[in-house]
Structure 1
Amino acid sequence: MRRQLLLHTIQTAEAFDALLSTGVLVPDNSFAEPSYADAYGWMLRQMGARLATVGDGAIWFWARIRRQDLVDLCSRANGEVLLTCKVPREAVLLSHFGDWHAALNWRPHVPDLPGESDEEYGARLDRVVDDFDARIRAAGVRDAGVQHWPEDLRTEIEGSWEHVLEPLNYGRFESWQATMHLLRTDHVLEAVRLER
């Protein structure tokens, strides 16, 4: 039996209408924030390497989120549509929502160590980030996109981001996100138009 995941996504009314009319929702990359192009590009390469599906973009979902947080997101999405979906696990790349921000901010991801206090972690995080930042500045590429960094620094930072893709690293109460190349109508269990 194939494993399935329950996911939630908030889509525009136009995207939902396209899903209904074509049977498939593909990502609209025009919504991607240009300043996050390096992080999105890395995520797309990871999807290409780790998923059996193919595509030129990613549809974003919540794979684990506190109910109240999802309710809060829905309250700010007037006119949009909340889709609850059940999808095959092999079509989904999971990632840790909070730790994903290391990629969005072009900084190394520094995982917690077992038994490490908040103060110890903070001090170690500062050392790692300061050291990496100093090497980026020395290379003269601090304000250039990651794709323009020397290969050794780019490989190092992107390698640190891979930690965010391993669900065994996530805590019980943390938010997880998911990406897929496309969504089909047969994945959708429920659609709710969000109106105040």
Structure 2
Amino acid sequence: MPHFSVTRARADRAVPAGRVGYDLNADRVLLHTFQTEDALGELLSTGQLLPDPKRAEPPFADAYGWMLREMGRRLPTSGDSALWFWARTTRDCLVDSCRNQRGGVLLTCRIPRERVLLSHFWDWHRALNGTPHVLELPCESDEDFEARRDRIWDELDDRKRAAGVFDKGFLEWPEDVRLDLERGWEQFLDPATYGRWDTVQATAHSLHAEDVIEAVRLDPL
């Protein structure tokens, strides 16, 4: 028997009204993830859900590989892929996602904080695109920030051209260039850098049945 309720709802009624209640500092972090019916079946039959490495998008293999290495370095768990969750987003975003995931399953979870790696959703796109992550400095004007950011990006492009790797994935760059880039990305893994309303995602090596509060099957129509 499952440790959690399994219900069915229309996409626009799958998320309860009111504040979602995310707390990035909680001992067990509130998370949401959209999964397939097969994934729910695996969770119900085996008591855990493991990610499928084949679902990673090949054009972004380098970025996903970096995230997995960071998970291996920072978490007490291990694995060759990651499950992805919303750790802080708006109710409207969840409802829109439910509409886009009709026929799938919305899982509401609470996972021990030490088992998940938080990351800034929008800044994660720096890794996906292989570009530097540049934090705005305190009291820095928009013009000064943009000038400093553009200078950092231009310097990286110059180093890539000099090494003959301008059009190659960052794992093929010279080690010093790649490490400089990756060290900058570590900043968006630090919740201390997030604004109050920033959208936050989380990754974990696995999901256990006891982590799940509720599963909602999303009606296909």
- Is the TM value for this pair above 0.5? yes
Residue 108 of structure 1 aligns to a residue in which SS? coil
Q: Which residue of 2 aligns with 1:114?
A: 138
Name the counterpart of 1:4.
Answer: 28
Q: Determine which structure has more spread, i.e. the larger CA radius of gyration.
A: 2
Shift of 1:16: 1.1
Q: 1:92 aligns with which of 110, 113, 116?
A: 116
Q: Is 1:62 paired with 2:86?
A: yes
| Greater CA drift, 119-128 or 152-161 | 119-128
In structure 1, the partner of 2:77 is: 53
Distance 2:149 2:217 in 1: 42
Instruction: Using structure 1 for the length normalisation, give the TM-score.
Output: 0.96
Q: Show the 5 A alignment for 1:36-51.
A: 36-51=60-75
List aligned pairs for 1:41-190, cutoff 5 A.
41-190=65-214
The corresponding residue for 2:57 is 33
Q: Is the partner of 2:139 in helix, strand or coil?
A: coil
Comparing 111-120 and 61-70, the one that deviates more: 111-120
TM-score norm. by structure 2 comes to 0.86
Secondary structure at the aligned position of 1:178 is classed as strand
CA displacement 1:71-101 (0-9 Å, x = unmatched): 1111111111010001101101000001111
Q: Please state whether the residue corresponding to 1:54 is helix, strand or coil.
A: coil
**Corresponding residue pairs, total:** 195
Q: In structure 2, what is the equivalent of residue 22 of structure 1?
A: 46
Which range is displaced more, 119-128 or 98-107? 119-128
Shift of 1:114: 1.2
Deviation per CA, 1:156-195, whole angstroms, max 9, x where unpaired? 0011110010000000001000000000111000111112
How many angstroms apart in 1 are the aligned matches of 2:142 and 2:218? Answer: 39
Q: What letter is aligned with 2:74?
A: R
Deviation at 1:122, TM superposition (A): 2.0
Q: Percent identity?
A: 58
Runs of 4+ aligned structure 1 residues displaced above 3 Å come to: none
Q: Give 2:85's aligned amino acid.
A: F
The 1-side partners of 2:213 and 2:59 are apart by: 34
Provide the rounded CA distance (Å) in 1 between the counterparts of 2:215 and 2:144. 45
Partner of residue 11, structure 2:
none
Q: Which runs of 5+ in 1 are unaligned?
A: none
Q: Which runs of 5+ in 2 are unaligned?
A: 1-25
